Amino acid sequence: MRISHKRAALLTMAVVLIAAAALFGGGVPAAVHYIGHDKVTEVMSKGGPIVSDPGLVVLAQRREAGQAEFHDRTNHVFIVVEGQATLVVGGTMVDPKRTATDQMRAPSVEGGTTYHLTKGDVITIPAKTPHWFKEVSTKTVAYYAVNIQSE
């Protein structure tokens, strides 16, 4: 029996959520959520939240290259489902500006580790780590972002 890439990605996301809940101790996720594939497809087409719980947000994202980001308390798990992108993680943000209470953005990052992400890849980014979608060779990259808030 073959499993589709979409189902494999959803299964991976479920495993990551369970592991996160075990790691951070109860409360993440705060409730059972079932989001059918039609709704997930709809949200993925424009980007946005699929799950919003205290301490946990799951986004379906579709984006182009953009600014570097840094989050004081948000830990990311990105699961790529379509497209290709160059992601720089770590390093030093160039001319960062605080854009929210727990977030900074910058035009770029110097140094860091460069990853070429493609469909099926998973990458984790701890809080307080700069990250930057430097290039998106396929115009957009679609991915699930599992965002877990740390204390």
For 54, the token pair is: 């205290």
Q: How many other C-beta atoms lie within 10 A of the C-beta of residue 86? A: 16
CB 130 within 8 A of CB 91: yes
Task: For residue 113, give the 3-state DSSP assignment.
Answer: strand
Q: What is the pLDDT of residues 77-131, one digit of tens each?
A: 999 999 999 999 999 999 999 999 999 999 999 999 999 999 999 999 999 999 9
Q: How many other C-beta atoms lie within 10 A of the C-beta of residue 151? A: 6
Report helix, strand and coil shares of the chain as percent, to nearest 5: 20, 45, 35
**What domains are defined for the chain?**
5-149 (2.60.120.10)
- Return the ∠ at Cα 37 (arms to 62 and 27), rounded to 5°: 85
Reported pTM: 0.81
Q: What is the pLDDT of residues 7-59, one digit of tens each?
A: 655 556 655 555 555 455 455 788 888 999 999 999 999 899 999 988 899 99
According to the model, what pLDDT value does residue 71 have? 97
According to the model, what pLDDT value does residue 28 have? 74
According to the model, what pLDDT value does residue 30 have? 81
According to the model, what pLDDT value does residue 150 have? 87
